[in-house]
Amino acid sequence: MPLAETTNFGTIFFSPESVFEFPHGLPGFEDRRRFLPVQNPRTAPILFLQSLEEPSLCFTTLPILVVDPQYQLRIVEQDLEALEFPVDLQPRIGEDVLCLAVLSLRKTGTTANLLAPVVVNLKNYKAVQAVSQESGYSHQHFLFPQEEPVC
Amino acid sequence: MMSRRQGETILIGDDIEIVIAHIGRSRVKVGIRAPRRVQVVAQEVKLVGDENRAAAQAPSAEVLQLILAQLRPGPHTLRPRPDEESVRQDAGTKN
């Protein structure tokens, strides 16, 4: 079983078939292609995406429906192709794809990126960060609105 | 500002060319020819890249627990609604 060195979790064993493969990387990290989903029962439903190419690179995510139960996923043609889906059908969250919101921890509060969810094809584990067009979703959606500065 | 029709082109400097390829009802298709050293991305992609760089490190255990605590409010944070109490009383009198 392969091993990965990670800054956050130490050395971890993983099975190669559980790796998410981003054919185009992620915006800002175009050359990072392989990420391992890591979940700790004590911090579920948080899911970490640990880079297998850069030990210190780790994203913290939540299933997007935990953040917004009404979330409407719309993926552009180019991303559907990268996920190896037919371009004329939108995949369904939970049935066809895993859909995750990347969290940012800022001084003003925790935000989730709803503009660009990480979408993983559950059949082949191909993944993209799908930047949506004209969705109206924010890349800095406050997780807990009461944390939003009142001014 | 510059006004262009479908199929017309704008030049920026010597080596950047922008073609208005198609004008639809609510969106415009734009073709861009630029040297490799010039990065061409939609503004959203730049925003997401910046956001990813800010998000690229796992938070400390304390911060995680804080997020989780807010996601799953404990029973002590849930106050029974006033009407719940009366419903329970009604059910009791029926039996």
Instruction: Tell me, yes or no, if B69 comes closer than 8 A to chain A by beta carbon.
Output: no
Instruction: List the B16-23 sheet strands across, edge first.
Output: B9-12, B16-23, B28-33
Residues of A in contact with B53 (CB under 8 A): 28
Residue B70 buriedness (CB in 10 A; 0-12 / 13-18 / 19+) = middle
For the stretch B20-79, pLDDT in tens is: 999 999 889 999 999 998 888 888 999 999 999 999 977 788 888 888 887 766 544 444
Measure CA B4 to chain center. Answer: 31
Closest CA to A92 of A77, A74, A104: A74
Alpha-carbon gap, residue B57 to A37, rounded angstroms = 15
Measured between beta carbons, the chain B residues lying within 8 angstroms of A56 are: 57
In this structure, is residue B95 part of a structural domain?
A: no
Residues A78-94: pLDDT tens digits? 999 999 999 999 999 99
Q: Is the pLDDT of residue B91 over 60?
A: no
Reported as a pLDDT band with limits 50, 70 and 90, residue A147 is: very low
Cβ of A66 under 8 Å from any chain B Cβ? yes
Mean pLDDT in residue range B12-17: 95
Closest CA to A113 of A150, A149, A60: A60
Per-residue pLDDT, B78: 44
Whether B88 maps to a domain, the answer reads no
Tell me if ipTM is over 0.90. no
Domains along chain A with CATH numbers: 3-142 (2.30.290.10)
Alpha carbon A92 to its chain's center: 16
Please count the structural domains in chain B: 1
- Cβ of A8 within 8 Å of Cβ of B46? The answer is no
Q: Is residue B65 part of a domain?
A: yes
The predicted pLDDT at position B85 comes to 44
Q: Is B40 within a domain?
A: yes
Domain for residue B92, yes or no?
A: no
Angle at CA of residue A94, ends A89 and A97, nearest 5°: 50
A12 touches chain B (CB under 8 A): no
Answer yes or no: is B59 within a domain: yes
pLDDT at A51: 96
Whether B85 is in a domain gets the answer: no
Single-letter amino acid code for the residue at A49: L
**Dihedral (Cα; A132, A137, A138, A139), 10-degree rounding:** -30
Nearest to B54 by CA among A147, A110, A2: A110
- Band of pLDDT at residue A151, cut at 50, 70 and 90: low
Span A10-34, pLDDT tens digits: 999 999 999 999 999 999 999 999 9
pLDDT at A27: 95
Q: Which domain holds residue B58?
A: 9-69
Q: Is the pLDDT of residue A77 over 80?
A: yes
pLDDT value of position A144: 82
Give me B64's structure tokens: 């995680």
Mean pLDDT of chain A: 92
pLDDT attached to residue A146: 63
Kindly list the residues from chain A whose CB atom is less than 8 angstroms away from the CB atom of residue B40: none
Note the pLDDT of residue A108.
81
Q: How far apart are CA B66 and CA A8, in angstroms?
A: 18
Q: Would you say A39 and A139 are in contact if contact means Cβ atoms under 8 Å apart?
A: no
Q: Is residue B47 part of a domain?
A: yes
Q: Which residue would you say has higher pLDDT here, A49 or B95? A: A49
